[in-house]
Amino acid sequence: MKYALIDGYNLAFRAFYGMPDLTRADGFPTGAIHGWVRSLWWVEDHLSPDCMVVFFDLGGAARQEALSADYKAHRVETPEALRQQLPWIKDWTRAMGYLGIEKHRVEADDLIAAYAQKLGVPENEVVIVSADKDLGQLVTANVHQLLPPPTANPKLGWRRMDPHAIEERIGLPPAKIPDYLALIGDAVDNIAGLKGVGPKTAVKWLRKYGSVGEIIAHCGELEPKRFQAVVHADQEILRRNLEMTRLDPVHAVDPLDGDSRNPAEVVRILEEMEMTSSARQARKRLGILD
């Protein structure tokens, strides 16, 4: 079986910022919906998955907030125009039969981790669709990551990352990404790394010592020497960072079976959004006769 696990908000934000400010005749914004429909149909056509599962955040992140009250404190609020479109995006997604999974106080990343671990067995192929660097830690021989075209440089196109591609990109295998982010920090999630430690230093240390725990254990040997006292003093911060950057796959995984597609609802939503071309394409894709 082939599964596509979609990081809903990551892709929705890219759809929003990657499209012009399109609106319905009454001024209701539709640009993100246009981009979303186009993106999910691209994934379906080019990956040909047996099952597409979309994960959304419902708000809150109990695990991470218990570790740091400032988690994601600096994240920019969802633009109002995108907020207005999200319910329509979710309704259209479910009508297309792309299963929508969300859980209060649990981040989509952790839910994706649970499904990737459960489904990423040798007889399956799993592709995680997201530009989120955190999800790179889930990449294995059977689980790959598909990066959407960057909004700043869409000509790069979609890029598929296997373990070799991840290591080529950052200099470390996927399993070391939590340690790497714990050291350098993650501005998106408001996780501060060690001051002065950049990617090159983090990669050098992890190649030599293997993990944040071993770096702490050997802090008296670190080069440059100025970091020896820093790592010793901030070791608890590093351990907390690691708990935050490491995804938690311990969540229930629901069965992914049954056809929940509702062709008439798919077309109705597109027509209500005045997306005539997409509605026409949906009729063709879903075998709806005029």
Tokens of 54: 């979309």
Dist CA 174 CA 195 (whole Å): 24
Dist CA 267 CA 186 (whole Å): 40
Q: Are 130 and 156 in contact (CB under 8 A)?
A: no
pLDDT at 151: 84
For 18-74, give the DSSP string.
HS---B-TTS-B-HHHHHHHHHHHHHHHHH--SEEEEE---S--HHHHHH-TTTTTT
pLDDT at 210: 97
φ and ψ of 159, to 5 deg: -130, 130
pLDDT in tens, 57-113: 876 555 665 665 565 555 678 899 999 999 999 999 999 999 888 888 788 999 999
Dist CA 207 CA 203 (whole Å): 6
Q: What single letter denotes the amino acid at residue 218?
A: H
Torsion of CA 174, 180, 185, 186, to 10 degrees: -10
pLDDT at 268: 97
pLDDT at 289: 73
**CA angle at residue 94 from 91 to 98, to 5 degrees?**
140
pLDDT at 12: 96
pLDDT at 284: 95
Dist CA 170 CA 145 (whole Å): 14
pLDDT at 62: 55
Residue with tokens 């509605």: 279
- Which helix H or strand E contains 146, and what residues bound it? strand 143-147
Name the β-bridge partners of 145: 128, 161
pLDDT at 196: 92
Domains detected in the chain: 2-172+248-285 (3.40.50.1010), 174-245 (1.10.150.20)
pLDDT at 70: 63
Q: Half-sphere exposure of 171 toward its Cβ, with a 13 Å CA cutoff?
A: 15
pLDDT at 81: 96
Per-residue pLDDT of the chain (290 residues; tens, 9 = 90+): 999 999 999 999 999 999 999 999 999 999 999 999 999 999 999 999 999 999 998 765 556 656 655 655 556 788 999 999 999 999 999 999 998 888 887 889 999 999 999 999 999 999 999 999 999 999 999 999 999 998 888 889 999 999 999 999 999 999 999 999 999 998 877 788 999 999 999 999 999 999 999 999 999 999 999 999 999 999 999 999 999 999 998 888 888 876 789 999 999 999 999 999 999 999 999 998 76
- Predicted TM-score of the model (pTM): 0.93
